[in-house]
Amino acid sequence: MIRANNEPFSNFNSKLRFRTKSSKQYDILPKHVKDTAFKYENNSKGIRSPAGPHHFLLCIVISVVVYTVLAILEKSLPEPVTISNEHNHPDRFVAERARNHLVKLTSMGPRPVGSKENEILAVQLLLDEIKTIIKQAESAHKVEWDLQRVSGAFSLQFLDGMTNVYRNVQNIVVKIGPIQTSRHSLLINCHFDSVVDSPGASDDGASCAIMLELLRVISRLKIPLKNNIIFLFNGAEENMMQASHGFITQHQWASSIRAFINMEACGAGGKEILFQVGPNHPWLLEAYSDAVPYPLASSMAQEIFQSGIIPGDTDYRIFRDFGRVSGLDFAWSANGYVYHTKSDTVDKIPLGTFQRTGDNMLPLILKLVNSVQISDVEKYSTGNLVFFDFLGIFIVHWSEVLSDIINISVIIISLLVILYNASHTYVTGFNVKDYFKSCFKCSSLIVLIWLATLVTIAILSLTVVMLDRCLSWFAQPAWLLFLYITPTILVPMVLLVLFGRKFLWGKKGTHYPQSLMYCISRDGNQLLFIMILMLCVLLRIRSGFAVALFVTCNTISTVLHNAILKNNYGYKVLWLHWGCMLVPFMLSAYMIQAALLLVVPIMGRSGSGNHAESVMSLITSAMFTLVFSFYNPLVLLLQKAYTVFSSLAVVLLVSFLVLVFTPLGFPYSGDPNNLAPQRFMIAHVERSFYNYNGSLRDHQNGLWIVNLDVNSPHSVVRHAPELMNARQITQDECNKELYCGLPYFIPVITFIWKTHWLDTKPLDVEIPLSLNLTYRDYRLNNVQRLSFSAIGPDHITFTLSLYDGIKLKDWSFSSGEPLKGPLWNGRPTFFVYYSCANDIIPWDFWIDIEVPKTHVGPQIEVGLSGHRMHGPHQYTPELKKLFNQLPQWTTTTGWASAYKSYTL
């Protein structure tokens, strides 16, 4: 008698037994199984048994090693050119000179709009460097510069939506081109302003420093340019992209721009990624592919960013939407922990990062500005490209039409291979129809397993939250592997082994060999991804290239199995399949690494009300669920699968015990070489609330603590005991007062709504803030024009909500229909941001409202906030005291603000 656990195709849980001398026992088995069983009886050596569990565990270990190697390679940077050896590199970008520019710029400290540092010192520094470059330029080039001071307004559907009003923001503009004037220009953009409290080395001073060096190198070239290059050093990007709007809509040179390059950062250093290109104009990406020596780009990154999942935006949007120009958007994303913090300093940016960016930008700029396409962009404007880089070595790209052809071909070939597998199944009574029926049932099972996996991960993350061990992966992303990736691998395999047979065939499934179970599982998974690929084709999702690559390699694995290994279902099949899937695994691991590099730091500033632990766990699990879905069927080839299960379960259990009972899961780090600080954004606020008759109904002074992660502020009460008295702003307060009666600087109340308030002494310096209704004009059709004059500092926000029955018809802020924000008590709200960079005067504006004749009483609710945001030297004593108490693993942003609420 042959026992089931010696039979190469049987389930390790199966009770199946058969006798070699009874031919009836073999009727349910494939022909090659019958032959093998008889051969076994006559050959003491038998045949090769199923793969041992160590094979699968070794695959997992190698996968982790591959991922680790890719993470290490991600940090590799080119050798920088220095001033001392630049004579050996003529016409090369010199990283050290660019870095020296940045040292000078950041030495003046934070540069928020309206500050002396931004409006006077930074402008003078840049102009001095530009004038020096112009003096040394080759005679083959014509170089001009302009200092623009501009005012304007526009609506921006970003975050909760806002209307942006600006006055006297500044741009420094340099144009270099041929002596014979060209009508066509390429725009290169950076911004030299920074957020309050941050020296803004990476965001975005480094880009401006790189642009200065690019300008120097290009101006020294002896060969004239065919068209113009416009270098825009804009001075108000952090104010929701005001300066770029002023340039592209009002500057005299803007009409000549045919394409642009935007240089940004959401991290310090690393490699600049091309994450947006277009719209349309495929020649831009083709030029990038041909020109740059160190490519890093992905249409998947573009689709993810433009979906709005990542809370951020760049001047790319302004040039695209208001200038109607196509271009390329680059950003550094490494070390996002220092983004918009005091730690965003020059020393955080490796010199090799300057060199890499310069070495990429210089040939790309020259390629674009001298191209045929830039002189006739409309001729080359049609179509978008699917693109991605392969491990930073080269760019792969093709048109959307070719993408459809490739995807449809992959679908057809894959279906034909599955049809071949179905027609070559030798199980008695199991025909092609049964095979496809089982495959589709298996596809359904896999979807259920995916859902079960995500539910399991959600429960694990909630357990972590209940144990108060949130964000362990923030400072140490390896925790994601132990806490969430391990169960993502474990759960689908266990469910597939335990419930796969019964789900597919019920009780009769116990008679089918394990080889059939493996084939059905493999092809059922393939069918599911074929359907996903079909959706990508129908919905014009360019990220479908990743799905197509997985489906293609899985098809190759199946074909090689059928052609070479035939009926062998041992360890050779396991290694063949793993080898075939290595390329898509490497590419997906490469993209996942880049995604985690970006997303993990973002979770530390996404707001405490957004359940970062659950969000991060589900994002991570979802990515690896899709990747490992192609490996799960391999567990059916194992002789002792429970060894794999128990090994992974032990890893998970030990990880939880270490997280709970040791300090290794502490989420933050103050190590200068491995910063991962907890962020605290705190404003010292004076707020006043006025009744309909103008009388003061409430007046408060306090610290408004904007909770940027789930551990705020209780994580630091041991260091700052007074925070124990901070109370959370309740929903009742938010229902009673517009925008919770708080001085929101940008419209983010839908995701940063959980905040605290701590009563304190009044502000040491009075912030002048008032709103006067200067005139009420009654017009036709029940329309009233309310004219206002607002007095305040250089940063003001104005929020508005209408009482029931009142309609906002028009206002003076911007043209078109006023942009609505989130509802408040069922009523629409409107958010207006105003900044004045120079020469502060009262802000005069009007709104037109339609008031029914029957309406009696208040018509509108408004909130006016004035923000004093010029850096740490303007901290109040209360802010200084609190910030000095906080530990080194925190980073702070502070300012003073006045808020007044009116009912009119």
- Tell me if 61 sits within 8 A of 67, measured CB to CB: no
- Spatial distance between the Cα atoms of 586 and 592, rounded to a whole number of angstroms: 10
Rounded to 5°, the CA angle 517-518-521 comes to 85
Chain position carrying tokens 């068209």 = 227
Rounded Cα distance between 487 and 653, Å, is 10
Q: Which stretch of DSSP H or E encloses residue 327? A: strand 326-332
Q: Of 119, 237, 238, 686, which is the active-site residue?
A: 237
DSSP letter, residue 676: B
Tell me if 784 sits within 8 A of 777, measured CB to CB.
yes
Instruction: Give CA–CA dist 840/867, Å, rounded.
Output: 14
DSSP 8-state secondary structure symbol assigned to residue 818: P
**What is the spatial distance between Cα 504 and Cα 41, in angstroms, rounded to a whole number?**
32
DSSP secondary-structure letter at 604?
A: G
The amino acid at residue 828 is: P
Termini Cα distance of the chain: 93
Specify whether the CB–CB gap between 550 and 530 falls below 8 A. Answer: no
DSSP string for residues in 561-593 = IIIIITT--SHHHHHHHHHHTHHHHHHHHHHHH
For 706, half-sphere exposure in the C-beta direction (CA atoms, 13 angstrom radius) is 26
> Is 722 an annotated catalytic residue?
no
As a whole number of angstroms, the distance between CA 158 and CA 245 comes to: 15
Look at phi and psi of residue 468 and say left if phi exceeds 0, alpha if psi is from -120 to 50, else beta: left
312 close to 606: Cβ distance less than 8 angstroms: no
**Alpha-carbon dihedral sign for residues 420, 426, 427, 430:** positive
Residue 502: both structure tokens together:
């019964």
The answer to whether 819 and 828 have CB atoms below 8 angstroms apart is no
Residues 6+ apart with CB under 8 A from 625: 450, 453, 454, 488, 492
Beta bridge partners of residue 883, listed in sequence order = none
- Residues, the chain, total? 904
A 10 A CB-CB count for 904 gives: 18
User: Distance (Å, rounded) from C-alpha 3 to C-alpha 10?
Assistant: 10
Q: DSSP letter at 803?
A: P
How many CB atoms within 10 Å of residue 348?
Answer: 20
Neighbours of 537 (CB within 10 A): 19
Q: How many CB atoms lie within 10 A of CB 558?
A: 22
CB atoms within 10 A of CB 379: 10
Residues annotated as catalytic (active site), given as ranges: 237
